[in-house]
A and B are shown apart, each in its own frame.
Chain A
Amino acid sequence: MTSKPPSLQTTPLTWLRKNLFHTWVDGLLTIVSSVFVVWVVTGLLTWVFTRAQWSVVSTNLPLFFVGRYPASQSWRLWIVLSLVVVTIAFSILSQRSKSSRQKLLSYGLLVVSFFLSLWLIGGSGILTRVGTNLWNGLLVTLLVAIVTIGLAFPLGVLLALGRQSALPIVKGFCTAYIELVRGLPLIGVLFMALVMLPLVLPSQVRLDRVVRAIAGLVLFNAAYLAENVRGGLQSVPSGQIEAAKALGLNTPLILWLIVLPQALRAVVPAIVGQFISLFKDTSLLALFALVELIGISRSILAQPQFLGRYVEVYLFTGLIYWIFCYSMSIVSRRLEVKK
């Protein structure tokens, strides 16, 4: 007769023993950290439900999201939002499908809906113009982040290719640019873009503040993206390039058809990571008088009836950033697992 193996079922008690009180040091750690957790959680909860005055958030909710964008025109932003949702849904669906025509169509839709959104937000012709000084809050944070990644990515790929180039002058220039920018703080690069850019352009050219800020962010992020892409380029086996050469492809075609598709696929998680830090970095624009999410929080805090409600405002702003960044980091982790 065979006896059953001993039961491995975890009762709450064995779970506690294994996970919280394995040794006496473990038990001590558990007690200390549970005291800490209880202290923090009770403190936070009593504050949230008794002392916090959430009216500063609830009355200013539209300000956080769209700032001083005229309320009579806000229907335009709703259209933009639905356009974004449709575009994202369509591109996810078409990524799954095999037909390359549908993929091409989704890229087309992306470009069209981007410019359509820009027109809807800014307005010209039949729509009343809304100046960029009225684009505030989350609206401008998202817009700046998306435009920046769209421009910095191709520039970063070019810089990475340049750094790998066989032409010494091109290589030297790209390496110098990448290393120079990566040694500088973003605030310095933004200072350069906002203060120096008007000085090095002809005086007739007047660039909008938002455009200059985007230029600074693009110049900065392109250098970091270039380093990410370079990692991907180095991960493509040289046999691939030799095989392509043996087939008689010329250098641009080898890059376009063989190297870049493999290299970029390998670095998608790193690029998402760079996008997350870019999204957080847009907050620095608040230091240059651009009223993005942090800028609008500061002007809300300057309202006389809400003076000193720092914790409520900063917690709420932090939550908005956190939701975006955390969901992107989950996407990046998924992509990493898929590989």
Chain B
Amino acid sequence: MIRLWRNVRFWRFAGQAIAVILMVAVLAFLGSNLDRNLRQLNIRFGFGFLRSQAGFTIGETPIAYQPSDNYTQALVIGLLNSLKVIITGIVAATIVGVTAGIARLSDNWLVRHLAIVYVEALRNMPLLLQLFFWYFAVFLSLPSPENGISLGLITFSNRGVGLLGTQLSPEFSALLAGLTIYTGTFIAEIVRGGIQSVPRGQWEAARSLGLAPPLVLRLVVLPQALRAIIPSLSNQYLNLAKNSSLAVAVGYPDLYAIASTTFNQTGRAVEVMILICATYLSISLIISLAMNFYNRSVQFVER
């Protein structure tokens, strides 16, 4: 018979047992403290507070809302505002990033270096700083609506951006600009790497078949580059979604901002924390699933 401490199966069992005991002990310790502390603060765990009146105003409401509505309705507004900025941000950042990534590989010296300066300058500064910059130094410093700057269909003023009759608030505009331009730098690097991963022979073969350079890029290179791009790109989309929670810095009422106001008013840290976690995890999960689905459709189909 093998000695006990030489027995691999014994050690496997012991390792798992120790892990379980440690985890249970830590969780029990934290849980009992939480219970005691909450009792001291006179808070009883439960989501009943969601039905009580919120009482605060929200700057931007995609659906009707009054301060007399309850917390659930306020949080739904926050979620809608978050989704609004995440979806537009993903679209805009993709456009900016792909353009900059292609420009980064341009034969034109000036265009190439412009793209390099954009990427290297802006991805090495914190997003929060850029958001403050966009909000305070750009959008709030613009002239008033009467003498706003008009570029065809778009007008810029300190009340936000007017686009084809719809008015975007300065908070939303600053958040969207910051998220787009910051995430765009990362997408640009991913696109550049993806395009460079396509063998040079593919370019040359397509050119020698008589395709013009823009068509080579669109028909031959990009479809192949996409396979390398998509997995990293979906990471950037996830980052953008998570970073949209910095909205609170510029006063855009996104989910996190409203949840944090709810916490300040009710003191319900645990419940608010659970809500924040559950929502952001679901958003992340949805983006991952959608990107996985898309990824499968662009992968090479083996014959």
Contact = CB atoms under 8 A, between A and B. Distances in A.
A22 B11 CA distance: 70
A192 B242 CA distance: 15
A15 to B, nearest CB: 8
B291 to A, nearest CB: 14
A240 interface: no
A119 interface: no
B256 interface: yes
Interface stretch (B121-129, B190-198, B222-230): B121-129
Interface in A136-195: 166-170, 173, 180, 182-188, 191-192, 195
A277 B34 CA distance: 32
Q: Chain B, interface size: which category?
A: 35 or more
A294 B132 contact: yes
Nearest to A202: B33
A186 B238 CA distance: 12
A33 B125 contact: no
Contacts of B244: 185
Contacts, number: 150
A276 B133 CA distance: 21
Interface string B88-112: 0000000000000000001111110
A180 B120 CA distance: 31
B121 A29 contact: no
B111 A30 contact: yes
Contact of B114 (A37, A185, A202): A37
B40 A186 contact: no
Contact of A170 (B19, B248, B280): B19
A201 B38 CA distance: 11
A34 interface: yes
B244 to A, nearest CB: 8
A68 interface: no
A195 B256 contact: no
Contacts of A308: 141
Given A188-B256, A325-B125, A19 B280 contact: no
Interface residues of A, number: 54
B129 A185 contact: no
Contacts of B142: none
A287 B132 contact: no
A33 B106 CA distance: 13
Contact of B110 (A34, A168, A202, A322): A34
A188 B128 contact: no
Nearest to B242: A185
Interface in B183-224: none
Interface in A183-213: 183-188, 191-192, 195-196, 198-203
A52 to B, nearest CB: 12
B33 A201 contact: yes
Interface in A292-328: 294, 298, 308, 310-311, 314, 317-318, 321-322, 325-326
Interface in B117-147: 120-121, 124-130, 132-133, 136-137, 141
Contacts of B16: 167-170
B110 A20 contact: yes
A322 B33 contact: no
Contacts of B136: 310, 314
B217 to A, nearest CB: 13
Contacts of A201: 30, 33
B36 A311 contact: no
B116 interface: no
Contact of B126 (A30, A184, A294): A294
7 contacts: A20-B110, A183-B285, A185-B245, A200-B31, A200-B34, A283-B129, A318-B130
Given A33-B108, A280-B127, A287-B248, 9 more contacts: A22-B107, A29-B106, A184-B242, A185-B256, A195-B269, A276-B124, A294-B126, A314-B137, A329-B124
Q: Give me the 5 closest cross-chain CB pairs, A-B, nearest first.
A: A325-B124, A19-B109, A185-B242, A283-B126, A310-B137
Interface of A: 19-20, 22, 26, 29-30, 33-34, 36-37, 166-170, 173, 180, 182-188, 191-192, 195-196, 198-203, 276, 280-281, 283-284, 286-287, 294, 298, 308, 310-311, 314, 317-318, 321-322, 325-326, 329
